[in-house]
A and B are shown apart, each in its own frame.
Chain A
Amino acid sequence: MKPGRIKPPMGHDNAWWWQQAAEDKLAIQRCSGCQVLRHPPRPMCDRCRSMEWDFIIAKGEAKVISFTVLHHPKFPGYSYPLPIVLAELAEGTRYIAELIDCDVERITRGMRLQVTTQTDDDGFKIPVFRPATGSE
């Protein structure tokens, strides 16, 4: 088995999100006070200061705002060149993740993406992006 990716530490503020990821879902935290969506998750709403929240599951549609391609240094558990995109989800929040199944030469700002789950050899699951069908 090849070395797996670095695992996130899981505490009160983020473990629930990774539990959703383990079920192939990209969750977005929602304030129960003012209904604003927020990511990354936090224990308090910075608008209404409510500490009550639930979450929705993203539809998985997104578009590229910015991107980089990592070349150096190379860490075990990742393959290079490694494209990373800053994307805006259809729901309006942003999410940063690897882009898979895409030639790095073809990445452009505004490109349409679909969220999918990457499952590592050790069973760890993480939401990533791939090009949306028909966007190539």
Chain B
Amino acid sequence: MAITLHNEAAIVGIGQTAFSKNSGVSELALAAEAVKNCLDDAGLDPVEVDGLSTFTLDSTDEVELARAVGLGDLHMFAKINYGGGAAVGLIQQAAMAVATGVCKYVVVWRAMNGRSGQRMGQGVSGEIISSDLIHWSWYMSHGMLTPASWVALIASNYMAEYGAGSEHLAEIAIAQRNYALNNPVAAGFGKPLTMDDYMNAKMISEPLRLYDCCQETDGGVALLITTPERARDLRQKPAIVRAVTQASTRGQEQMTSFYRDDLNSLPEMELAARRVYEMSGLSADDIDASCLYDAFTPEVLMQLESFGFCGRGEAKDFVQEGALRIDGRLPNNTHGGLLSEAYIHGVNNIAEGVRLIRGTSTSQPPKPINHALVSSGVGVPTGALILGADD
């Protein structure tokens, strides 16, 4: 029998730490606290957990986490590459493990001192010769050391081609800040963002200004995945995995896919979209809300086209009509997202997708949310996830 990942798994626990600019504790401590809070949320004894998955970038070792939290025998542990591109991949690992019976309860996490420790925004460097480092060297030597600089080179071309301007990027940043105003744990809580604030903020890498770029955050988020059957015995209303996939396409580079014929689209995100729509039997019309990976505002514009919410080049009009706002067609990142809640590499966006299905977002849209779409990092090997309510 062919196994698909349609309705084979559910996310049934969410745990997180406080989000801050200086946690004052180790990344292992953040991971342990997030996992403990996640298991408490679900009502599961830690000794029942038998699978773990996280990012290759995560510094916490699986057995150190297991010892700290008091987990039981482990049947699966797996780390996934490509920064924020890993986020949804964790759910795919977990879903495969529970669907096949390899594991009963899988915890996934990302914990990072992303501001007080190693900062993504400070770029890359290193001495070890690997295929990856040689890749970065084509950009590093010219001074292109940060994610903002790599994204800007793609965004600049997209925006020129389709006539998108700063006002469209601002609409995304401000819509998400308005959500963060309701979210007490968000970096943007109590900090309104006006169009003037946006336009007058410092330029980072043209056309990206400060508020086009995500937070740098210390914190951790963990999620518990099991089968829908087991989920029904736990404390929370499960968010069923309707479909999940990873995606990378021909000519893919990590953040610098500058050599493909078409520079105005995200082929890997289009692949992710095709896969999750096929697996779930759903289409863009069925998606009620989204948590599109938002390290930088132009990535949201481009993904709206990848997932078919509008046509090529039309995302600027889609957002200008207010589609991403709470009463719009597609409320997006209702927790504030990476831009205005926290940068936990997109795992916090998955947590918000679960809350939207539970009906517990601090900015829960007034309409029913039957299906929520979540994506992984943009410009890297990536993935997508559709969550739905238990029938």
Contact = CB atoms under 8 A, between A and B. Distances in A.
Q: How large is the interface on B (under 10, 10 to 19, 20 to 34, 35 or more residues)?
A: 35 or more
Interface in B112-155: 121-123, 125-129, 131, 133-135, 137-146, 149, 152-154
A8 B206 CA distance: 25
A84 interface: yes
A121 interface: no
Contact of A6 (B122, B125, B131, B203): B125
Contact of B202 (A67, A72, A93): A72
A9 B259 contact: no
Interface string B46-70: 0000000000000000000000000
B259 A39 contact: yes
Given A68-B149, A70-B149, A84 B138 contact: no
B137 A72 contact: no
Nearest to B139: A96
B157 A5 contact: no
Interface string A1-19: 0000111111101100000
Contacts of A94: 258-259
Interface in B143-173: 143-146, 149, 152-154, 156-157, 160
A94 to B, nearest CB: 5
A34 interface: no
Main secondary structure of the interface of A (DSSP, over half): loop
A68 B144 CA distance: 10
Nearest to B137: A8
B185 interface: no
Contacts of A77: 143
B204 interface: yes
Given A39-B259, A72-B203, A9 B133 contact: yes
A111 interface: no
A46 B251 CA distance: 9
Contacts of A84: 142-144, 149, 153
B44 interface: no
A39 B144 CA distance: 17
Interface in B233-270: 250, 256, 258-259, 263
B140 to A, nearest CB: 5
Contacts of A8: 134, 137-138, 140-141
Interface string A69-82: 11111010110001
Contact of A66 (B125, B141, B154, B250): B154
A13 B141 CA distance: 16
A128 B207 CA distance: 22
A40 B142 CA distance: 14
Contacts of B127: 9
Contacts of B206: 68-71
B74 to A, nearest CB: 36
Contact of A70 (B138, B140, B143, B256): B143
8 contacts: A14-B137, A40-B135, A69-B203, A75-B143, A82-B143, A84-B142, A86-B258, A96-B144
Given A9-B137, A72-B204, 16 more contacts: A8-B137, A9-B129, A13-B134, A14-B134, A40-B259, A65-B157, A66-B153, A66-B160, A68-B153, A68-B207, A70-B149, A72-B202, A73-B123, A75-B145, A93-B259, A94-B259
